[in-house]
Chains A and B, each alone.
Chain A
Amino acid sequence: QSVLTQPPSASGTPGQRVTISCSGSRSNIGSNSVNWYQHLPGMAPKLLIYNDVQRPSGVPDRFSGSKSGTSASLAISGLQSEDETDYYCAAWDDTLKGVIFGGGTKLTVL
């Protein structure tokens, strides 16, 4: 069972905006920054968002992150078929002394 809680699935139609939530606690999201990764099985995972809201170069501005208290969200606007894959939030946990991932959200583009 993951310490960070994500919905197992999300969906939207092309062009829509979808959000994926990530809920944690004071020892992880509440104290440290949240990062988001995109992972298509068989490929290398890819950094999408770091430090809660920062976007690495090369990541489209359709992807955005936010955080409030012990929860964070990833928003994807202008949904495209290529966005159909798995998304994970992650944060350092001060109690566990390690990185924790959410259980992952499988995004389906209808």
Chain B
Amino acid sequence: EVLLVESGGGLEQPGGSLRLSCAASGFTFRSYAMSWVRRAPGKGLEWVSVMSGGGETTYYAASVKGRFTISRDNSKNTLYLQMDSLRVEDTAVYYCARMVVPASMFWGTSWFDPWGQGTLVTVSS
């Protein structure tokens, strides 16, 4: 069974930092791109970032670029999201998701499946 388990969420002050982790199991982790998606209270899903299977390629949403850093350790089957300079508007449940890219590196045909249960990040003073 493919399983994704996020951790690392919590309460942080504006300007602070948090590091999220996503432990993966049940599939060949290094063969898949992985992504972070968030959902703020009362709002919809928002894509945050993606990293290719080997870590060569990364993309970020404009709202987090320069503040968040995605990384992965394929030896530990774990995806990370380093969140710096946190803002109140970063408050959300953060989900990691496996990104299926059937045509190698052609992101336009990709989809997310499965998703983890999420970890809550609250940014407040």
Report A's interface with B, CB cutoff 8 A.
2, 31-33, 35, 37, 39, 41, 43-47, 50-51, 56, 86, 88, 90-92, 94, 96-104
A-contacting 9-mer, from B23-31, B56-64, B79-87: B56-64
Chain B interface secondary structure, helix, strand, loop or mixed? Answer: strand
Q: Which residues in chain B, 33-69, are within 8 Å of chain A measured between CB atoms?
A: 35, 37, 39, 44-47, 50, 59-62
Cα A43 to Cα B111 with chains together (Å): 18
Contact B117 A43 (CB under 8 A): yes
Contact B109 A44 (CB under 8 A): no
Measured between beta carbons, the chain A residues less than 8 angstroms from B45 are 37, 39, 45, 88, 90, 101, 104
Cα A39 to Cα B110 with chains together (Å): 19
Cα A58 to Cα B70 with chains together (Å): 31
Given the contacts A39-B39, A39-B45, A32 and B108 also touching, CB distance less than 8 Å: yes
